[in-house]
Amino acid sequence: MPEDREILDAFRQEGKEDYAFNLLVRKYSRDLYWKIRRMVFDHDDADDILQNTFLKAWKYLPDFREESRLFTWLYRIAVNETLNFLKSKRLRTMFSLTGNEKTLADKFTADPYFTGDEITRRLYAAIGKLPPKQKIVFTMRYFDQMKFDEIATMLKGTTGSVKASYHHAFIKIKRYLGEED
């Protein structure tokens, strides 16, 4: 895989932007996709968010100041896109006229791209009930083992607020799983 420096140098050479951008997509698309997918669950939603992330990267890459790794920069864009998506989805669900008859657990059962067992299905259904920010914080901490201060930097918040969000998320998930037993 090419180094970040190689990608950035190629991007700044006239006529090599497309080639450099393809390198960028090839290098980071998988990691970004799986991180997004664990937050939004649905493949089509994850695909949309991933494409929007790279479209923004294409637009703002000329202004990239190299104060962080390329992946960190891309991940921050992806998290913002995911947070906006989850918030708007939550609003749409709140004002939906048809209601949300299908539970998340039912959706996982019907989803051909979900292969988890019973306990995995229940865990993801519980995560799905969390508010957007708690969902993202819990996913970053629980699945990616990120440190609280790294999550805080990513979300432009404080370490204390991130710890509080994780704590609330953990308590809620424990309660949701207990209710199903």
Interface residue with another protein among 101, 110, 115, 156 (CB under 8 A) is: 115
- C-alpha 22: how far from its chain's center? 21
Q: Is 71 helix (H, G, I), strand (E, B) or coil?
A: helix
Site for another protein in 44-63 (CB under 8 A): 47, 50-51, 54-55, 58
Give yes or no for a contact between 36 and 49, defined as CB atoms under 8 angstroms apart: yes
Token pair of 158 as six digits? 């404080």
Residues 50, 40: Cα–Cα separation, whole Å = 11
Interface residue with another protein among 5, 12, 30, 90 (CB under 8 A) is: 30
Least CB distance from residue 119 to another protein, whole Å?
6
Residues 114, 43: Cα–Cα separation, whole Å = 9
Least CB distance from residue 110 to another protein, whole Å?
14
Residues 14, 50: Cα–Cα separation, whole Å = 26
* Interaction of residue 71 with another protein, rule CB under 8 A: no
Interface residue with another protein among 13, 88, 109, 116 (CB under 8 A) is: 116
* Interaction of residue 164 with another protein, rule CB under 8 A: no
Stretch of 16-24, 65-73, 77-85, 90-98 contacting another protein, by CB under 8 A = 16-24
